Structure 1
Amino acid sequence: MTTQPTPKGAWKITFLLFLFMLVNFADKIVVGLAGVPIMTELKLEPESFGLLGSSFFLLFSIAAIIVGFIVNRIDTRWVLLAMAVIWSLAQFPMVGTIGFTTLLVCRVILGAGEGPAGSVAAHAIFKWFPDEKRTLPIAILSQGSAFGVILAVPALNWVIINYSWHYAFGVLGVVGLMWVVAWAILGKEGPLVQTAAMAANESRIPYFQLLTSRTFIGCVAATFGAYWALSLGLTWFTPFIVKGLGFSQQQAGFISILPWVFGAVIVLLTGWISQVMLTRGFTTRGARGVLGSVPLIVGGLILAVLPHVAPGGLMIALLVVGSGLCGSIYVVCAPMLGEFTPVSQRGAIISIYGALYTLAGILAPYVMGAVIQNAAAPLDGYMTGFTINAVVLVVSGLLGLALLWPNTERARLAAGQEEAQAKFA
């Protein structure tokens, strides 16, 4: 593979976007972390709390698609800035005394602001790194989510225990505004963008063909399963530790970090292994498609064991490993889509991909809440919910394994386009 130099300043931007994703996931985790105090104060049943978790994703996908087309025309620098402002301002109403409806509306607004975050950040990274060097920076970008939880959980949990869950939201609003200031001063647009001459020479592919390509479908299917596990972790992991296993809020705060620590290791390993495989001549089918799909299947099989072990340390370990393995797919899918999508269409395609797989976030928290509420005992409900998660993961991993062939996708799409043109010639 030909090696193109990395522009100066690329790693500085990568670090800033890492912090961007860190704030993003700290915002996501706070409701799950404060789940028990919120349910107690607002007198919520599990099904209502599940609805609160799902509400975050109500406009998540719609916003991701809209902004995906916007970043094809507007610099990602300004789009990222606007999104971070929305996140920050959406946190402050929770500082005061509120009801369930206000909390629900603020989470919907926050979700709309954060929906495009991962896709736009990846699109921004692609403007700083050539294709053969993208996997590692994308892995680092993905680590923002893990470190957002690892660093935020102890701090936010301390605020929740010593002050109130209300102030935890306010802290996140202030941190978000701090990132806005840093990005306004240091953020720049990457130089690896499409010029007018490049656009004239580049052959656009109809969006229908891109969206129905097997690799796009495979990425959506595989990441859907991973996001089902992630959204359950964001909303229900801490309540499970407290109400399902009987740990205190303080103990649960430390335990809640474990899946993200393990997931961080998996993501970094995936990025490093993928890049090494590419330099040694492996196709992207193996170095990205297979490498991202197999951990989903293994993770699902591990979660399937949960109902058959005694409550306690082993159950937590299985949950940590099973859900943590899912991180591999986030590292490889955006680069795979970038392989065959024309640059002028890439922002929209990556955002539509993100919009579709995050639909799992609407379903998973509510399904878990409904299952818990209708179970004979809370622990039985949790076990049923995690079994559903296991099935989703195995199916999504198998679909990814069958459909992810990025190294042949562009040639196939180009051939199909030429064939279609010949018919109408």
Structure 2
Amino acid sequence: MAAPTTLQGTSRTRPAATPKGAWKVTFLLFLFMLVNFADKIVVGLAGVPIMTELNLSAEQFGLLGSSFFFLFSISAIVVGFIVNKVPTRWVLLVLALVWAVAQFPMVGSVGFTTLLICRIILGAGEGPAASVAVHAIYKWFPDEKRAMPTAILSQGSAFGVILAVPALNFVIVNYGWHYAFGALGIVGLMWSAAWLWLGQEGPLAEIELAGLREQRVPYLQLLTSRTFVGCVAATFGAYWALSLGLTWFTPFLVKGLGFSQQQAGFISILPWVFGACVVMTTGWLSQRLMARGVSTRMARGVLGATPLIFGGMLMAAMPHVDGATTRIALLVVGSGLCGSIYVVCAPMIGEFTPVSQRGAVIAIYGALYTLAGIIAPVVMGKMIQASGSLLDGYMSGFTINAVIMVIAGLTGLALLWPNTERARLQAHQAVAPEFA
């Protein structure tokens, strides 16, 4: 008969010390995610100059925004399985080099097709970024010490926008949008050089696997569990809002509300500042609730899904109010509340996923919810193209976003039960310890 088995979160090994160099790697990976989101935001930030120079329609620009995600999910899944065998140090280096190389063609004169192809290549390189970075961080910190480095890593995305938007907008306004892409390519090469010099592979992965005896759970069982499905559905709604922010927020400010490119650059920071506050508050509150013995159903599932509902309701009010300031406020707060779900879903999946399968399952989760990035920018483009008024088109697109967020939040509330998921799988293993 097989030896007793455990699932992630059902047993604890003796706490391990944090290896020397862990915080150095954390800082480098924070910068990695910062560059990652700066690369994402540049097309939306330069949206109006790009549309003007290339004579693009709203539908074409929506397609350009979606193109980034054409290979995003496929790449995330493939690389998610690769990092089970290949050191993350080298995978991260290759990803960063792909990002850098994909930016440089835009420095010269390019057409719509070239820009589209380069964004597809960039998306393929950036699809695995978050899951590989998390996997790399977990090789440096034992389970009980991962909350803070994970929070720091997640803030790289917000700071990537907060710091990059003013700098990139300065380049766009004073030198043209082509040079903004070139600047990002140079930054990508600089990070690659720093990582090649200072980056290291974490030593704790083998220790963790050696200290935890477990059997593999069929991937079909993990991927059809209600909590996994709930995480995908809830985060899909949140990512719909994020992808619209990346592609359409700045053009909405300029063409829809009449702000200048320079003004829009500063306003574009606001959703990310508010979102960063939501992320940090959710992480802190979740840990406080769990420390007091609150179930992960409440401390993670309900806490993460409920803000999506309120955020969707705020965005739904946008067409029914007057004034640019009020509409911006509703959009900033409504979309910013989505940040709560990103904090809780990966830990919930980790509660019931065996350690040896965690990287791939989290990668698949990311690949599925980011499919919203393909759909949302195109839908917004079609709404704008089909509307008699530019502003009405934007309002229709944001209303669709609001409905999707509310549905996503309600689905999350219904399905996110990680504590019972863990217990169910553990009981199943006890009955049938030989299942593969």
TM-score calculated relative to the size of structure 2? 0.93
Instruction: Tell me the equivalent position of 2:279.
Output: 267
**Structure 1, residues 31-89: CA drift from partner, whole Å, max 9, x if none?**
00000000000000000000000000000000000001001111211111110110011
2:18 counterpart of 1:7? yes
Residue matched to 2:140? 128
Q: Is the 8 Å Cα contact of residues 50 and 177 (structure 2) preserved in structure 1?
A: yes
Q: How does 1:363-382 map to 2 (within 5 A)?
A: 363-382=375-394
CA 1:177–1:394: 2 relative to 1, 3 Å: same
SS at match of 2:426: helix
Counterparts of 1:326 and 1:135, CA distance in 2: 19
Of 326, 333, 338, 2:338 maps to 326
Return the alpha-carbon distance in structure 2 between the equivalents of residues 199 and 4 of structure 1: 11
- Is 1:306 the counterpart of 2:299? The answer is no
Give me the whole-angstrom Cα distance separating, in 2, the residues matched to 1:148 and 1:83: 17
- Partners of 1:171 and 1:375 in 2: how far apart? 36
Q: CA deviation at 1:188?
A: 1.9
Rounded to whole Å, the distance in 1 between the matches of 2:413 and 2:186 is: 42
Q: State the match for 2:251 in structure 1.
A: 239
Aligned residues: 423
Which residue of structure 2 aligns with residue 359 of structure 1? 371
Q: For the residues of structure 2 that align with 1:12 and 1:83, how far apart are their CA atoms? A: 20
Q: Secondary structure of the residue that 1:97 maps to in structure 2?
A: coil
**1:311 Cα deviation from its structure 2 partner:** 3.2
Which range moved further: 101-110 or 3-12? 3-12
TM-aligned CA deviation for residue 416 of structure 1: 3.1
Deviation at 1:333, TM superposition (A): 1.1
**Does structure 1 retain, via aligned residues, the 8 Å contact 2:76–2:364?**
yes
Residue 320 of structure 1 aligns to a residue whose secondary structure is helix
**2:101 is the counterpart of 1:89:** yes
Q: 2:409 — aligned with what?
A: 397
Sequence identity, in percent?
A: 74
Q: Secondary structure at the match of 1:193?
A: helix
One of 148, 170, 192 as aligned partner of 1:180 = 192
Residue range with higher mean Cα deviation, 243-252 or 1-10: 1-10
**Structure 2 counterpart of 1:118:** 130
Q: Which residue of 2 aligns with 1:210?
A: 222
Give the whole-Å Cα distance in 1 for the aligned partners of 2:83 and 2:209: 19
Cα deviation digits, residues 90-144 of structure 1 (max 9, x gap): 0000000000000000000000000011111112222223334333322221111
Q: 2:347 aligns with which of 309, 332, 335?
A: 335
Structure-2 residue corresponding to 1:77: 89
Equivalent position of 1:348 in the other structure: 360
1:186 CA displacement: 1.8
Match of 1:169 among 170, 181, 197: 181
Structure 1 contact 194–344 (Cα < 8 Å) conserved? no
The answer as to 2:398 corresponding to 1:386 is yes
Aligned to 2:6: none
Paired position in structure 1 for 2:235: 223
TM-aligned CA distance change 1:198 to 1:38, over 3 Å: same
Q: CA deviation at 1:232?
A: 0.1
- Could you report, residue by residue, the CA deviation over 1:321-348 in whole angstroms, capped at 9, with x for unpaired residues? 0001111111111111122111111111
Residues 1:410 and 2:422 aligned together: yes
| 1:130-149 matched pairs, under 5 angstroms | 130-149=142-161
Following superposition, the deviation at residue 391 of structure 1 comes to 0.7
SS at match of 1:194: helix
In the TM superposition, residue 271 of structure 1 has moved relative to its aligned partner by 1.5
Please tell me the residue identity of whatever aligns with 2:338.
C
Task: Check whether the contact 2:230–2:415 (CA below 8 A) recurs between aligned residues.
Answer: yes
- The CA deviation at 1:173 is 0.4
- 1:282 equivalent in structure 2: 294
Q: Secondary structure at the match of 1:98?
A: coil
Over the aligned positions, Cα root-mean-square deviation in angstroms equals 1.8
Which digits, 9 at most, give the CA deviation of each residue in 1:197-240, with x for residues without a partner?
73993211010001011111111111101100000000000000
> Which residue of 2 is the match for residue 292 of structure 1?
304
Shift of 1:420: 5.5
Distance in 1, matches of 2:166 and 2:362, equals 33
AA paired with 1:153?
V
The aligned amino acid for 1:83 is L
Counterpart residue identity of residue 157, structure 1: N
Q: Which moved more, 1:268-277 or 1:293-302?
A: 268-277
Distance in 2 (CA, whole Å) between partners of 1:245 and 1:171 is 29
Q: 1:197 and 1:111, CA in 2 relative to 1: closer, same or farther beyond 3 A? A: closer
Correspondent of 1:34 among 34, 46, 51:
46
Query: Which amino acid in the other structure matches residue 15 of structure 2?
Result: Q
Tell me if structure 2 keeps the 8 A contact 1:61–1:358. Answer: yes
Distance 2:290 2:31 in 1: 27
Residues 57, 84 of structure 1: alpha-carbon distance in 2 compared, 3 angstrom cutoff: same
Give the SS at the match of 1:201. Answer: coil
Alpha-carbon contact 2:209-2:355 (below 8 Å) kept: no
> Which is further off, 105-114 or 127-136?
127-136
Segment drifting more, 395-404 vs 57-66: 395-404
Quickly say closer, same or farther: Cα 1:118–1:408, change in 2 above 3 A. Answer: same
Distance 1:411 1:217 in 2: 17
TM-score of the pair, normalised by structure 1:
0.96
CA distance, structure 1, for counterparts of residue 359 and residue 279 of structure 2: 23
Change (3 A) 1:235 1:407: same
Distance 1:195 1:6 in 2: 11
The 1:301/1:372 distance shift into structure 2, 3 A limit, reads: same
Query: Which 10-residue stretch deviates more, 14-23 or 101-110?
Result: 14-23
Where do 5+ consecutive residues of structure 2 fail to align? 1-10
Output the CA distance in 1 between the equivalents of 2:402 and 2:158.
Answer: 21
CA distance in 2, matches of 1:238, 1:50: 13
Name stretches of at least 5 consecutive residues in structure 1 with no aligned partner: none
Instruction: After superposition, give the CA deviation of every residue in 1:250-297 in whole Å (9 maximum; x if it has no partner).
Output: 000000000001111111111222222222222222222111111111
Partner of 1:152: 164
Corresponding residue number in structure 2 for 1:44: 56
Judge which range, 78-87 or 50-59, deviates more: 78-87
Determine the C-alpha separation between the residues in 1 that align with 2:274 and 2:104.
Answer: 32
Residue 96 of structure 1 aligns to which amino acid in structure 2? G
